[in-house]
């Protein structure tokens, strides 16, 4: 049975609603598939009839289907087992489904259709604010935060004014990234941010607390740091090897590459001169 693309997108969004990176999304999708799909089943890969016996996650962190080919599902000696990578196809910006489901406004972001107008309006305001007062890194994080909030069930963005939520998202990210610290660049005070965003400090702080609870944001949370802060944030680089916590920036290159592939660190640091 072929599943309509809009229904498939909705199922993926539901399974990954609380995921914050590719590794979490892959694990959530794997669990959902294993819980709801009956194995084995027959399929066709590149014109070859196969029997899909299981799904798993490979060393690169991608979901793969374990397949058998040949008569009665027995792998011919010359072919053996084949493992095909199952990756989500990239969707263009502002992709619109014809019926129901979800839509994507930025690459990699899936938005429930019912929340699309609210998401678009919030991102329009945060983009304009960041273009005038901050930078592209903040704009990207604002859109990411709006997307995560849009996928919550129920979404907190479904009630209240969009301007208030846009201001609260800016305030939350500003607080997380020490925007209000005079030593940071860019910098502005909390009062300046709220005035420029057109919201009161009381509204911004109260909704920022709601956002922090909804997304489980902690101080120095690496998920919501701009690159300049992320590079200096010790929480983004702590990994555990054989029971010992180490700073991945001091680890050998091969360990850094494995940690990056597993989504444990934000990027592979440049070698020290």
Residues 26-56 pLDDT 10s: 777 777 787 778 888 888 776 778 888 888 7
| Confidence at residue 35, expressed as pLDDT on a 0 to 100 scale | 72
CA dihedral 127, 13, 32, 88 (to 10 degrees): -70
Domain assignment present for residue 101? The answer is: no
Q: Are residues 217 and 177 in the same domain?
A: yes
For residue 151, the enclosing domain spans: 115-227
Separation between Cα atoms, residue 218 and residue 172, nearest integer Å = 11
Residue 222 inside a domain? The answer is: yes
Counting every residue, how long is the chain?
Answer: 273
Quick check: is 94 in a domain?
A: no
pTM for this one?
A: 0.60
CB-count exposure of residue 81 (10 Å: 0-12, 13-18, 19+): exposed
CA atoms of 213 and 210, how far apart (whole Å): 5
Q: Tell me if 95 is assigned to some domain.
A: no
pLDDT number for residue 120:
95
Counting the structural domains of the chain, the total is 3
Residue 103 lies in a domain: no
Q: Which helix (H) or strand (E) holds 43?
A: strand 41-45
Q: Domain holding 160: CATH number? A: 1.10.472
Residue 95 has a pLDDT of 32
Q: Are residues 82 and 149 in the same domain?
A: no
The answer to whether residue 130 is domain-embedded is yes
pLDDT the model gives residue 127 = 96
Position 140 in a domain: yes
Q: Are residue 162 and residue 80 in the same domain, yes or no? A: no
Spans of the chain, pLDDT less than 70: 1-2, 17-24, 46, 59-61, 70-109, 272-273
Give Cβ neighbours of residue 123 (< 8 Å, ≥ 6 apart): 105, 106, 142, 143, 146
Enclosing H/E stretch for 206: helix 201-214
* Vertex 237: Cα angle to 86 and 62 (nearest 5): 5
Same domain, 119 and 214: yes
């Amino acid at each position: 049975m072929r599943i309509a693309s809009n229904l498939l997108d909705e199922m993926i969004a539901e399974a990954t609603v609380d995921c914050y990176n590719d590794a979490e999304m892959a694990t959530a999708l794997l669990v959902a598939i294993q819980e709801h799909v009956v194995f084995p089943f027959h399929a066709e890969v590149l014109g070859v009839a196969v029997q899909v016996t299981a799904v798993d996650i490979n060393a690169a962190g991608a979901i793969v289907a374990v397949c058998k080919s040949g008569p009665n599902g027995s792998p011919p000696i010359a072919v053996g087992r084949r493992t095909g990578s199952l990756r989500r196809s990239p969707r263009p910006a502002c992709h619109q489904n014809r019926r129901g489901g979800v839509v994507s406004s930025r690459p990699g972001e899936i938005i429930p259709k019912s929340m699309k107008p609210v998401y678009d309006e919030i991102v329009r305001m945060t983009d304009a604010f960041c273009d005038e007062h901050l930078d592209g890194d903040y704009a990207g994080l604002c859109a990411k935060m709006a997307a995560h909030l849009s996928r919550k069930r129920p979404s907190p963005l479904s009630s209240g004014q969009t301007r208030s939520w846009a201001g609260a998202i800016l305030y939350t990210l500003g607080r997380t990234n020490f925007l209000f610290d005079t030593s940071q660049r860019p910098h502005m005070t909390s009062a300046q941010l709220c005035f420029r965003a057109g919201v009161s400090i009381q509204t911004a702080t109260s909704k920022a607390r709601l956002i922090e609870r909804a997304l489980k944001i902690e101080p120095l949370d690496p998920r919501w740091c701009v690159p300049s802060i992320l590079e200096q944030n010790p929480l983004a680089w702590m990994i555990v090897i054989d029971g010992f916590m180490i700073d991945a920036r001091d680890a050998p290159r091969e360990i850094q590459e494995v940690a990056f592939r597993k989504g444990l660190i934000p990027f592979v640091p440049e070698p020290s001169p």
